[in-house]
Amino acid sequence: MKAFLERAATLIATADGLIIGAGAGMGVDSGLPDFRGEHGFWNAYPALGRARLHFTDIANPQAFVKDPHLAWGFYGHRLNLYRATTPNPAFSILKAIADTLPFGAFVYTSNVDGQFQKAGFDPERVWECHGSIHHLQCLEVCCPEIWPAGDFVPVIDAENCRLQSDLPRCPRCGGLARPNILMFDDMLWVWERSEERKRNYLAWRETVQRPVVVEIGAGTKIPSVRMFSENTKASLIRINPADADLCGAEGVAISLGGAAAMQGIADCLSEWVALRK
């Protein structure tokens, strides 16, 4: 494992820009659930387990039509959880590394939790490909507006997974608001915010000559992040305790959790710098 960590440190030390790919596993070290498998989901939300509701049953726009207080019970609980969570050490290590590189870092993540922004990354350089729970949109899309969820403080009956406070409303039409998250069977997701970050990424990528990708906790079931990482035309450091296969990409595979792997890479980077002084 030390050899793999040293190889990753060398790739980073010779890069001029850092591309960070992050999946659900990135938040595990912060104590966040990744909903892996139905039992993992039901352990996190036992009320939904008792009702035999699956993740796909609640994570879709129709859930807000059928039972908005239940749907917002689930998403409101997640919103409160993410607001209260402290990003794990991998975030600060990545931020410290990025700050040493000429072109810094750009983040591509399928996570909707806002942890990179909380850890101090430039929000304009965080491309959330599935949207963000910290932003809202109209359920009926009366207009293509997206607004911050900062004024919405959900009160949740956790035992029954139901919203007890007022439902959030669209400021334009007064209709029900939903999270600006790409859900299952979702034809009405307002994607402009994500598309703007994509444009920012493409402009940034043109300036970087020697990028390296550090991908953490990206799964294969919904492979958005893995596919992005493999298509960047850059060396890939894939960190995943369950599936670190590079799938033909050039780089190094590290079968560890994100926090442990990044601490190991940081230690090797310190040694690398010391040897060259």
Tokens of 94: 């990545």
Pick the catalytic residue from 77, 130, 134, 135: 130
Tokens of 91: 């975030």
Spatial contact of 220 and 246, defined as CB atoms under 8 Å apart: no
- Degrees to nearest 5, angle at CA 145 with 144 and 147: 155
Edge to edge, the sheet with strand 131-138 lists 147-148, 131-138, 177-181
Tokens 């993740």 appear where? 55
Burial group, residue 151, by CB count within 10 angstroms (0-12, 13-18, 19+): exposed
CA dist 216 to 1, 77, 134, Å? 16, 25, 22
Question: What DSSP character marks residue 16?
Answer: S
Indicate if 39 belongs to the active site. Answer: no
CA dist 208 to 116, 117, 201, Å? 21, 22, 11
Question: What DSSP character marks residue 25?
Answer: G
User: 3-class DSSP state for residue 224?
Assistant: helix
Catalytic residues: 130
